[in-house]
């Protein structure tokens, strides 16, 4: 890892830019939340988008390009724009389904990468006003350094996951329900929270011990993965062969807080990924 002062300073600056961009959409998201948000279907009934997702991404993109002109953006709603060296990976609302249904568990997720390596990440919960972030030096919550400690045994540990989604059940069939049952039975408690980025941030804060996802996209996990790692936890990618690609591009992951261990979660993901491979499914 390049730890030169220049890179550390750049990472700290990108973190601050991302924090400002995320905080900037806070008032808009708070006033829209629980105000009768209209939804549109994206790919299916479970995959929703709102005008606020697009407005949030536009505002964030404007802020990022103005603050760091040498930028390019990969956004969930707007795709690729710009061609600068700093790559921003943006999910303008992660947890749109919660946002649209009036459930206070959604966030803005912004990561910054240089040459494929994550330098900074921000996950912002605008309702609780929680700004999780990371740079080269550490992970923070509202500016305070995060030093979590996960429960050591699975029997004591909490796990957060959305698995299995309707789509996952179509792919994995009965094995998906068996995997879910095994997770429910093994961990002290399982929560289905439906915002990958915020679940990762909760692991980084020590409010959950483990989280896992299958069929994820870079904008769901890039910022949260860095925050978990900088908080001392692990982010383990699964379901991709190319070791040269960054972990946040993998379609499946398990993240574990420092001091924790999650052999069941890892075994479940490995088993599902192997079954998908055997069935010729290409994303994990």
Within a 10 A sphere around the Cβ of 62, how many other Cβ atoms? 12
Q: Which residue's CB is nearer to ligand IPD, number 68 or number 222?
A: 222
Verify binding: residue 215, Ca ion, rule CB under 5 A: no
Verify binding: residue 220, Ca ion, rule CB under 5 A: yes
- The least CB distance from residue 173 to ligand IPD, in Å, is 19
- The least CB distance from residue 137 to ligand IPD, in Å, is 27
Residue whose tokens read 């379901």 = 239
Interface ranges with ligand IPD (CB under 6 A): 91, 94-97, 162, 194-196, 213, 215-216, 220
Alpha-carbon Rg for the chain in angstroms: 18
Q: Which residue's CB is nearer to ligand IPD, number 92 or number 232?
A: 92
- The least CB distance from residue 41 to Ca ion, in Å, is 14
Give yes or no for a contact between 190 and 166, defined as CB atoms under 8 angstroms apart.
no
**Separation CA 284–CA 273 (nearest Å):** 5
Q: Which residue's CB is nearer to ligand IPD, number 13 or number 54?
A: 54
**Separation CA 56–CA 91 (nearest Å):** 9
**Residue 134 in 3-state DSSP?**
strand
Q: How far is CA 8 from CA 76, 120, 138, 189, 226, in A?
A: 27, 10, 11, 38, 14
| Contact partner, 186, from Ca ion, ligand IPD, none, Cβ < 5-8 Å per class | none
SS (H, E, C) 21-76: HHHHCHHHHHHHCCCCCCCEECCCCCCEECHHHHHHHHHHHHHHHHHCCCEEEEEC
Verify binding: residue 135, Ca ion, rule CB under 5 A: no
- The least CB distance from residue 136 to ligand IPD, in Å, is 26
Instruction: Indicate the burial class of 4 (C-beta count within 10 angstroms; 0-12, 13-18, 19 or more).
Output: exposed
Q: Which residue's CB is nearer to ligand IPD, number 109 or number 232?
A: 109
Q: Which residue's CB is nearer to ligand IPD, number 68 or number 252?
A: 252
How many residues touch Ca ion under the rule CB under 5 A: the total is: 5
**Given candidates 57, 87, 91, 125, which one binds Ca ion under the rule CB under 5 A?**
91
Q: Which residue's CB is nearer to ligand IPD, number 158 or number 216?
A: 216
| Contact partner, 162, from Ca ion, ligand IPD, none, Cβ < 5-8 Å per class | ligand IPD
Verify binding: residue 162, Ca ion, rule CB under 5 A: no
Work out whether strand 117-125 and strand 130-134 pair parallel, antiparallel, or are unpaired.
Answer: antiparallel
Verify binding: residue 76, Ca ion, rule CB under 5 A: yes
- The least CB distance from residue 96 to ligand IPD, in Å, is 4
| Contact partner, 172, from Ca ion, ligand IPD, none, Cβ < 5-8 Å per class | none
- The least CB distance from residue 109 to ligand IPD, in Å, is 8
- The least CB distance from residue 124 to ligand IPD, in Å, is 14
Give residues with Cβ within 8 angstroms of 36, minimum separation 6: none
Going by the DSSP 8-state scheme, the letter that residue 126 receives in this structure is: T
- Given the rule CB under 5 A, which residues bind Ca ion? 76, 91, 93-94, 220
């Amino acid at each position: 890892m390049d730890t030169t002062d220049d890179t550390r300073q750049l990472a700290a600056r990108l973190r601050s830019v991302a924090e400002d961009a995320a905080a900037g959409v806070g008032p808009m998201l708070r006033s829209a939340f629980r105000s009768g948000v209209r939804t549109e279907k994206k790919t299916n009934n479970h995959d929703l988008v709102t005008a606020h997702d697009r407005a949030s991404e536009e505002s964030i993109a404007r802020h990022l390009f103005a603050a760091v002109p040498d930028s390019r953006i990969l956004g969930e709603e707007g795709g690729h724009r710009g061609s600068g060296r700093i790559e921003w990976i943006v999910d303008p609302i992660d947890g749109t389904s919660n946002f649209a249904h009036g459930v206070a568990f959604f966030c803005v997720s912004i990561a910054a990468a240089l040459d494929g390596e994550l330098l900074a990440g921000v996950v912002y919960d605008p309702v609780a006003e929680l700004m999780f972030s990371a740079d080269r030096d550490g992970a923070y919550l509202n500016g305070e350094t995060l030093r979590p400690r996960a429960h050591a045994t699975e029997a004591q540990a909490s796990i957060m996951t959305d698995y299995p989604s309707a789509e996952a059940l179509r792919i994995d069939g009965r094995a998906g329900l068996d995997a879910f049952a095994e997770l429910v039975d093994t961990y002290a408690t399982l929560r289905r929270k439906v915002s990958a980025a915020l679940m990762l941030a909760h692991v980084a804060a020590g409010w959950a011990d483990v989280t896992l996802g299958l069929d994820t996209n870079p904008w769901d996990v890039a910022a949260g993965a860095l925050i978990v790692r900088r908080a001392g936890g692990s982010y383990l990618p699964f379901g991709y062969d190319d070791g040269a690609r960054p972990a946040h591009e993998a379609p499946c992951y398990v993240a574990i807080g420092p001091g924790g261990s999650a052999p069941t979660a890892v075994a479940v993901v490995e088993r599902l990924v192997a079954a998908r491979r055997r069935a010729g499914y290409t994303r994990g």
